[in-house]
A and B are shown apart, each in its own frame.
Chain A
Amino acid sequence: NAGVTQTPKFQVLKTGQSMTLQCAQDMNHEYMSWYRQDPGMGLRLIHYSVGAGITDQGEVPNGYNVSRSTTEDFPLRLLSAAPSQTSVYFCATTRETGANEQFFGPGTRLTVL
């Protein structure tokens, strides 16, 4: 089993460009989430999903969109990239709600110029 996979590992964008960060899991987990990690800070929740067809906002949702059409995939879309979105992005899954241990992907390092 691959667990939680993220693509790409690295990405450089210009301001205003759009892109989608991919997250896939083969653990059959209902709960998936996206975090960003900035230097010297902990992870901050962007969006999360408690199951296919259901998404909700986290702590820092502005500038990002998500959808959850299948249990396995939870893509994160940057609509118009800004330098403030330069960060490392992590996808995580857990069996049910956020009550259980989370399994993290390896991360995507995004730079917006």
Chain B
Amino acid sequence: SQQGEEDPQALSIQEGENATMNCSYKTSINNLQWYRQNSGRGLVHLILIRSNEREKHSGRLRVTLDTSKKSSSLLITASRAADTASYFCAQLVYNNNDMRFGAGTRLTVKP
């Protein structure tokens, strides 16, 4: 069964706007990661946040983690058409070696 769920399933915005995607998960985690997938391609790692961290930044990306609510959010600021892709959260299940992925959010940024 999937560990995480992304919300919304699809998001369409104009270039320059901010995009926020949310991820909820079910069990205790070691860390949470966000990945991007362009159509027909493999996943590319964006950012990793550990269970003892609350916020992390990388360029135009900002990730938050709330372990009490078992949720995370990914904010992409000043979006560009090139940000059009599917975004997945993934959790390393605590005391386990496998990663669990959600179904993803499909982001469309219109020029």
Which residues of chain B come closer than 8 Å to A105, judged between CB atoms?
42
Give A40 to B100 CA distance when docked, in angstroms: 15
Decide if A107 touches B42 in the complex (CB within 8 Å): yes
The residues in B between 21 and 59 inclusive whose CB is less than 8 angstroms from any CB of A are 30-31, 33, 35, 40-45, 48
**Which of A42-50, A63-71, A74-82 binds B?**
A42-50
Decide if B2 touches A42 in the complex (CB within 8 Å): yes
Given contacts A98-B92, A107-B41, contact A43 B98 (CB under 8 A): no
Decide if A42 touches B42 in the complex (CB within 8 Å): no
Decide if B101 touches A103 in the complex (CB within 8 Å): no
Size of interface on B: residues with Cβ below 8 Å to A: 26
Give A44 to B101 CA distance when docked, in angstroms: 7
Give the secondary structure class of B's interface: strand
Which residues of chain B come closer than 8 Å to A31, judged between CB atoms?
97
Give A107 to B39 CA distance when docked, in angstroms: 12
Residues of B bordering A, CB below 8 Å: 1-2, 4, 30-31, 33, 35, 40-45, 48, 88, 90, 92, 96-104
13 A-B contact pairs sorted by A residue (CB < 8 Å): A41-B103, A42-B2, A42-B88, A42-B100, A42-B101, A43-B90, A44-B2, A45-B98, A56-B97, A58-B98, A98-B97, A103-B45, A105-B42
Residues of A bordering B, CB below 8 Å: 4, 31, 33, 35, 40-45, 48, 50, 56, 58-59, 90, 92, 97-107
